[in-house]
Structure 1
Amino acid sequence: MISYMVLMGVRGSTIGSHYVLCHYLSTMKTNRSFLSKILNVNESKIEYICMKYPVIQKLEPKRITFLLQTLRQLGFSKKVLLEEPQLFSILPVTLKNRYSVLNECGINKITATHILTYLKIIKMKTVGELKQTNIIPSFLNIENRLANYMTQWPTALTSSIYGDVNKMTLYNLRLNIIQRYLELILDLSEVEFYRGIKTYPTIKHRPLHAINETFNLLQSVIMISNQKLKNNMYLIHTDPDNLKEIIYDFRSIGGIDIKEILRMRPKLATKSITSLMETRKILEEYGISNEAQKRCFDIYTLGPETVRERLEQAKQIPEFNTFFSHPRFLKMIHYKNTAMKRMRLLYSNNKKCLSLNILSGSTAHYEVYEKAPGDRLGKGKDLIFCISESLGNSYTMSDIRKKLRRHPFWINIPLVQVKYVYQKLSIEFSNTHIYENCAILLYPWNKIKNNLNLLDSNDRGKKGQVHEYLNLSKLNKSQKLSLVLYLLEKNHYFTGNGVWTEEKNKITNDIADISSHCENKLEYYS
């Protein structure tokens, strides 16, 4: 048996490897065909380039198309990719940034070679050496040229740059200017600056005009405080053009001005406008209300496909689906992994009364609930909301609460069970009938079903099931449910213990114990 399992394991591994290999070869062939078509060259030429630079074979057509668009924007023809295939390995955004930095530094006629040797030009050669090789014009006052990109520069540059500029690299010169700029507009200390660029090293290669325009938008348009900008230095990475689109095209979330939201959640400023638009479209597609979006702006920090995947999964998980219309539902989507982990742990501890706040709230609140004895829904707000939504919001939550509070164990029933019972009852009974007997939603469906069958069999003439003088045909639907409630509690002396399944441990019938029922560890219907 073991040998067979090992053999099957080897076969499975071989089949899996064969599938991966076939998929890889298929992707390679697709990429070669796509490149041949888009670059107007034969496949043998593309195959030769791919052999020399294997990374090209792994690129998706979407990435290649974006790369071509970027090169076109920078003034290069698509033939440059055949002349300098190494460009395939550089991200389009990196290409744009390198081109902009070289342009700001006064490089003459930027070529693909300049972009590929960017780090060597910026970090390994001094300004004097670059002028000698005519990469930078000899007459150019490089420090003033760079300073002119900073429109908020309040003092003369000569007072902030020390030493001979010709002996400095462009890297160090730019770094000094960025440091001085942030020091003047944010009151950023040297320690804070170097800590910031250590955490976000690509700041050192951001174009100066982009940094300047970004800060203009963040300070003057969005009006984020200097302290918040100091605490969130990743905002220097923000693309100003993208930020403008967020402000003027995306405009709001749930009716709240996006500028106000960005002040509260600055991380959203770094998200692409395309991603934000797609996420909004997905939320609307799944019927997520503006109210829910207002309560969880962080949902927009996730990728659109992640949001779609989690919403789709939420429909399949009863504990998540129960809260689908809840105003705070998106918190469960945003913290989905945490919520799933907590749910599994609580179920393993026989705790099934899961509220939205327990699953997606603070760690401190969750730990208090996890360690507390018993199993209950806290204040029962989620239960009331769940029933109200199920009844079509036709009744006020306060009225529903008044009806449920008559039952001693109303906050000890899992929401999943309540929703399941409603779905079953709604097939035969109207919302009005269910509301008038609201407490019936707290009972296990198998018990309700058995008693409904009992009434139906009695109505068909079978004797000895229900009181012989009771004419069931005269009862309306609401009265029928009331009778079911009576039968459910009859054997429990109307203490409320009918909500527990027969196989589970029951709370004692002693009325004195009702006040402390939440401290008894019970297994409930699942």
Structure 2
Amino acid sequence: QIRKNGYLIHSHPDNTLDTLRLVETLGGLPTRQVFQMHPKIIMTTTETLLRTKQFLEDHGISEEAAQCCFHIFTLGSDSVNTRLKELSSIPAFNALQTHPRVLRLVHYQQKARARLDYLRDIRRLRLALFQSNCFIDKAFKRRGSNPGPLDLQYAKEGADRTRGRDITGYLSLMLGLPEIEIRQEFHRHPYWCHIPLHLVQDTLHYLLELGYTRDQVWSNVHLLVYPRLTTTAKSITINHTR
């Protein structure tokens, strides 16, 4: 393993020992185990790891999300904090903060932002996490920079169609329901996969601000595919039962 990761020879042994002593876990796993899985993290200073962990906690990033992208601990703590703040300021990315793979957006933020700009240039309104995730270059090229006839049609109309995993994952967390149950309900609406996640988030928050409960929202969940401007207290009547 040392031969495969020759840079470890340049690591400071005292720093490694301090990290093992002061940083008990990373992403909910023992630090020693994380070092074995991702040796590059050994090069990060103890102080940086502690600060990065604190920044992730401050921004509400779960340990599950950290486990999906341990490479986040190879970045400078200030860079992580800055990128997390920028993530909150971009509507298309803000709704993805609860997604288990959100730290990949943070780790590859420059590439993700470049892809977001590209999708906007071709008038695509629907942004899913996989479209901005650099780990799936082939899928991005197939659906983005080298689109097929169906993709060209969606681009021309200013919309895109995905599998809706971001929407079901977000609503599962917010409403406390299984993703499969949410998907079954949304399948009754033919265009739900065309709706941007940040619009679903905006409408949900609007309904909750009006005083409706999550059970009431779930009973009329198809309202979430409409913009908040058309979802007003006068135009809808939400009941506990259908």
> Fold-level match, TM-score > 0.5?
yes
Per the shorter chain, which TM-score range?
A: 0.7 to 0.9
Whether 2:165 is the aligned partner of 1:381: answer yes
Counterpart pick for 1:432 among 215, 220, 224: 215
5 Å matches for 1:300-339?
Answer: 300-339=73-112
Please, which of 417, 425, 429 is the counterpart of residue 199 of structure 2? 417
Percent identity reads 28
Q: Which amino acid aligns with 2:239?
A: S
Which position in structure 1 is the counterpart of 2:174? 390
Q: Which 4+ stretches in 1 moved above 4 angstroms?
A: none
Pick aligned residue for 1:477 from 231, 238, 241: 238
Alignment correspondent of 1:363: 137
1:415 to partner: Cα distance? 0.7
CA pair 300-377 structure 1, distance change in 2 beyond 3 A: farther
The 5 Å alignment of 1:141-290 reads 225=1, 229-290=2-63
The SS at the match of 1:411 is helix
TM-score by length of 1: 0.42
Residue matched to 1:446: 229
CA distance in 2, matches of 1:366, 1:266: 29
Matched residues in 2 for 1:308 and 1:426: separation?
29
Aligned partners of 1:357, 1:423: CA distance in 2, in Å? 24
Residue 477 of structure 1 aligns to a residue whose secondary structure is: coil
Q: Distance in 2 between matches of 1:410 and 1:477?
A: 20
TM-score normalised to structure 2 length:
0.87
**For residues 343 and 337 of structure 1, what CA distance do their matches in structure 2 show?**
10
Structure 1 residues 454 and 291: CA distance shift in structure 2, 3 A = closer
Q: Is the 8 A contact 2:35 2:42 kept in 1?
A: yes
| Number of residue pairs the alignment of both structures matches | 230
Displacement after TM superposition at 1:257 (Å): 2.3
| Matching residue of 2:114 | 341
Question: In 2, Cα distance between the equivalents of 1:241 and 1:328?
Answer: 32
The runs of 5 or more residues in structure 2 that have no matched partner are none
CA distance in 2, matches of 1:421, 1:368: 31
Q: Who wins on radius of gyration, i.e. which is larger?
A: 1
CA deviation after TM superposition for structure 1 residue 241, in Å: 0.8
Name the Cα RMSD after superposition: 2.0
Indicate yes or no: 2:72 matched with 1:295: no
The equivalent residue for 1:53 is: none
Instruction: Structure 1: give runs of 5+ residues left out of the alignment.
Output: 1-224, 456-475, 483-526
For 2:30 and 2:103, the matched residues in 1 are separated by 19
Q: Aligned partners of 1:417, 1:270: CA distance in 2, in Å?
A: 41
